[in-house]
Structures are given as structure tokens and as C-alpha cells.
Amino acid sequence: MLSREKNETLCRVEGNAPMGQLMRRYWMPVLSAKDLAAGGAPKRVRLFGEDLVAWRAPDGNLGLIDEFCPHRGASLVLARNEDCGLRCIYHGWLMSAQGKVLETPAEGEDSTMHERITFANYRVAEAGGLVWAYLGPAEEEPPLPNFEFTRYPDTQILHLRARENANWAQCLEGAIDSAHSNYLHSNGIRASNTVGAVTEHGKGEHLSRPSNDGAPKLDVETMPYGFRYAAIRKPVLDADKNKYVRTTLFVVPNASMIPAAKGWGSMQFFVPIDDHNTMFNYVVWKRDGAIDEATIKQYDANMGLHVGTDLDENFVSIRQRENNWMQNREAMMRGESFSGIHGINMEDIAVHESMGPICDRSKEHLGASDLAVIHFRRQMIEAAETFAETGRSPRDLRPAFDYGRLRTGEGMVPHAERWQVVMEDETPEPVAAK
Ligand code: FES
Ligand SMILES: [Fe+2]
């Protein structure tokens, strides 16, 4: 459990809240690159409680500025996308990506008022098929995002999104909580008695894993980028010889990495829209070539994040609190579904939202299976408190190393061996316990 005060520190991201200010020191994924056509329609983006508009100019340059026109507040989502900036359709003012008003035609040629006006404008960059934004002070801007997938072309990357009506920490905690997969996702992820028959794309309608152990033992290791943990389960076969290990990374401040099928990778980014809403970004990549249509269709079927049926064009789910996330009680009674909710990711979203926008963590009862969640809270609350005291990001949360080397892993490990042997690649050394 957390005191109300610590819960506020963890969750609040708007205005001057330390957590939001800390998170602004990192690049955040905000759109898919393909959402913004050169000279095309600007897109509304809300981040940390700020309403912004993003666009790609006819020359290909990206911009991210205050959504509301500095004249009298018309939305620039409606603006004309012109060579030098966005032109408001109300009185024709022209706003640049650098936060300058370039023209105020209704004021007459002699007017100089535009020279004294500024408005919010932020850095935007493109990497790994995503558009990223940096909302922190210019002098603290970190290097551009450099994850494994940012080196691949867009054709090898799948970017799924959904808006969650829940605080960012609540959503992220689901991604570092291995035990829930045995229950909430028991229809989408099933035990298999074939060793190695784990997450296979393009085959069957469910994912499988070589264990039906519903009480994993968790082991957490603090790392320079955040932490990693192993969920250790009894395998279906040879439980006397082996343990089944699955590792997950928490990457400060709001990302996680979970194992994917062989030759694939995946990350999740929980980007705060405001205190009560989060954009869930699920990035999946294929290392050796373009992702085919069949795989994309399978993701659509399994995850419950298909735009047009599950989600509207703003990634808002048709399954919401008001309709109990369209839970199918008949399917539960018939034994066809444990949760009664369609799609693995939609199951996650339903439980996150069901807690209310900001969960009251003073009423919780955490157990051994919540070890990674506890570690996450401790790490991020400490970081936000340090930030609030010193005004600086804690040094150990801004490490200088190659994020492109981050990997997860899963597999069978002999009992005598360390679980770390399943990590696919060499990752940075753990940080000594404080
Ligand atoms: S409100 Fe935009 S130009 Fe007047
Ligand atoms: Fe989940």
C-alpha cells in the first residue's frame, strides 16, 4: 500500500507535479509517423494535461505547438497547413513551429503586435515509425530515442494504441505484473505441454507457454535504466530439472519490455495524457523483414485493439465502464472465457479502468507476486522526490548507455543456473543494492 501523499507523488503529472516534470525530461512517443502526412491534417495531441497540435509541414518538417490560437483561441487542429506554419481559419494568423506568430493579416500591414507574442512549442522527432516529443527544458534535452526498434524501417514495426481512462502508473503496473497473466489472460495465453511452444506469431488463436504455474516467484534486479525482473514458474515438463523463466524490463520513466516470439521484440509505452488518462502504445517489431498482413490480422484478433471495431479513430474503446467493458457473462458461464472480455490488451485496459482513474493505493494489500510493482513505485517515487528537492533528474535515471542493447528473454533454465542466462543479449550490469 501507499500513503495518499506518496500515491499523489506517483500519479500526478499535470502542471508542476514533480512526476510530470521529471517525465518531461524524456522523449515520449505521441503519434505514428504515418498519422502525419506532409501538408496534411494537423492532429490533436494531449500530453501531461496540455492540449497541443502536431503536424507535418509540406516540406516534411514536424511541429508541435499549443492547440489554441494565440489570437482568440480557435483550435489549430482546424488550421490550414501552409509552407511556414499553421494558419488559423478564424482570422488568418500564421503560427510557426518555433512558437512565433508570423502574420496577423486582420491587423493591417503596419501592426507589430505579433512580434511580442509567443506560445508553447516543443521539439518533435521521428524514430522507429513513431513521432516523439520532448517537453522539457532545452538545456536538458536527452539524445533521440535509441531503442532496438528505432533502427528498423517502418515496415518491420507494428504500432498499436489505445486510450485508457486510468492514470499512467496504474496502466504501467499491469505490464510489470506477471502473475495476472495466469488469470486475466488465461484464455489468450494457455499452458502447453510442449517445451518451447511459446508465443508463436501466425499460428493458432492463442499464445502458449510451457507452464501452468499460477504462482510465479519474482526476482527483481535494479539496473541503470530502471530494473528487470524474472517470473520463475514450474514448467509442465521436467519440473524436477528446470525452472521456466520469463523476464520483463522496466525502462524509466514509463516503458516496459516483455519477451516476444523468436526473431521479434516488443515494448510498451504508457504516455500520460493527463492525471486520469493514458495513451497505451504497444510497439512490436520483426528483426528480419517486413511484418505480413496475416500477423497484423492475428494481433487484431488477439488484442482487441482494432481501429474501426474495437476502437474509434481516436483509439477510444467501445468497451467502457458504462457498459462494463461489454463483459460476456454467458461466455464465462459456458467456461469459454475466464474474464468475459474480448482481447488480451482489452482485458488489461478493462481492469486498469475498473479501479477508477486514480486507484486509492492506501487500501491495497500487496503480496509476494506484487514485488515488481513495489519496486517500480519505490524507484519512481524516490526519483520524483529527488527531483522535487533538487530540481534535477536523479543521475542514475539518466544513464549514458546504449538503450538499443536492451533485451528480454524466456526459456528453461536448470535449477542450479541463474535466471539471467535467458537474457538474449548482454545488457548493462545490475546496480548494487542501496
Ligand atoms: S482565433 Fe485564430 S486568428 Fe483569430
Ligand atoms: Fe496483461
Given a contact cutoff of 8 angstroms between Cβ atoms, the answer to whether 36 and 401 are in contact is: no
User: What per-residue confidence (pLDDT) applies to 383?
Assistant: 93
Ligand minimally distant from the alpha carbon of residue 86:
1
Burial category of 99 from C-beta neighbours within 10 Å (exposed 0-12, middle 13-18, buried 19 and up) = middle
Given a contact cutoff of 8 angstroms between Cβ atoms, the answer to whether 163 and 280 are in contact is: yes
Ligand minimally distant from the alpha carbon of residue 69:
1
Question: Region 427-433: what's the mean pLDDT?
Answer: 59
Does residue 199 carry a pLDDT above 60?
no
Q: Per residue, what are the HEC states of 273-333?
A: EECCEEEEEEEEEECCCCCCHHHHHHHHHHHCCCECCCECCCCCECCCHHHHHHCCHHHHH
User: What per-residue confidence (pLDDT) applies to 148?
Assistant: 95
Does residue 312 carry a pLDDT above 90?
yes
Q: Give the percent of the chain with pLDDT over 90.
A: 79
Q: How confident is the model at residue 174 (pLDDT cuts 50, 70, 90)?
A: very high
Q: Residue 340: left if φ>0, alpha if ψ -120 to 50, beta else—which one?
A: left
Given a contact cutoff of 8 angstroms between Cβ atoms, the answer to whether 354 and 321 are in contact is: yes
Which atom of ligand 1 is nearest to 104's Cα? Answer: 3
Q: How far, in Å, is the centroid of ligand 2 from the Cα of 51?
A: 29
Q: Which fold has domain 148-422?
A: Naphthalene 1,2-dioxygenase Alpha Subunit; Chain A, domain 1 (3.90.380)
Does residue 434 carry a pLDDT above 50?
no
In this structure, what is the dihedral angle of CA atoms 109, 113, 115, 119, given to the nearest 10 degrees? -130
Q: How far, in Å, is the centroid of ligand 2 from the Cα of 171?
A: 10
User: What per-residue confidence (pLDDT) applies to 1?
Assistant: 84
Q: Residue 296: left if φ>0, alpha if ψ -120 to 50, beta else—which one?
A: alpha
User: What per-residue confidence (pLDDT) applies to 294?
Assistant: 86
Does residue 118 carry a pLDDT above 70?
yes
Which atom of ligand 1 is nearest to 93's Cα? Answer: 3
Nearest CA to ligand 1 atom 4: 91
Residue-averaged pLDDT of the chain: 91
| CATH of range 27-140; options 3.40.605.10, 2.102.10.10, 2.60.40.420, 2.60.120.260 | 2.102.10.10
Given a contact cutoff of 8 angstroms between Cβ atoms, the answer to whether 394 and 415 are in contact is: no
Q: How far, in Å, is the centroid of ligand 2 from the Cα of 425?
A: 25
Identify which of 90, 111, 113, 114 to mutate to test ligand 1's pocket (most ligand atoms within 8 A of the CB): 90
Q: Which residues does a 6 A CB cutoff place in the pocket of ligand 1?
A: 69, 71-74, 88, 90-93
Ligand minimally distant from the alpha carbon of residue 181:
2
32 Cβ neighbours under 8 A, 6+ residues apart: 129, 130, 131, 159, 161
User: What per-residue confidence (pLDDT) applies to 212?
Assistant: 87
Which atom of ligand 1 is nearest to 88's Cα? Answer: 2
Instruction: Quote the cell numbers at residue 313.
Output: 479513430
For cell 471495431, name the residue. 309
- Domain locations in the chain as residue ranges: 27-140, 148-422
In this structure, what is the dihedral angle of CA atoms 56, 39, 311, 171, given to the nearest 10 degrees? 10
Cβ < 5 A residues, ion ligand 2: 348
Q: What is the pLDDT of residues 254-308, one digit of tens each?
A: 999 999 888 899 999 999 999 999 999 999 999 999 999 888 887 777 788 899 9
Instruction: Quote the cell numbers at residue 251.
Output: 525502462
Q: pTM higher than 0.85 for the full model?
A: yes
Instruction: Quote the cell numbers at residue 358.
Output: 486514480
User: What per-residue confidence (pLDDT) applies to 391?
Assistant: 81
Identify which of 53, 66, 67, 71 to mutate to test ligand 1's pocket (most ligand atoms within 8 A of the CB): 71
Q: In what order do the strands lie in the sheet with 94-95?
A: 80-82, 85-87, 94-95, 101-103
Does residue 229 carry a pLDDT above 50?
yes
Q: How far, in Å, is the centroid of ligand 1 from the Cα of 257?
A: 44
Q: How confident is the model at residue 205 (pLDDT cuts 50, 70, 90)?
A: low
Which atom of ligand 1 is nearest to 72's Cα? Answer: 1
Nearest CA to ligand 1 atom 3: 91
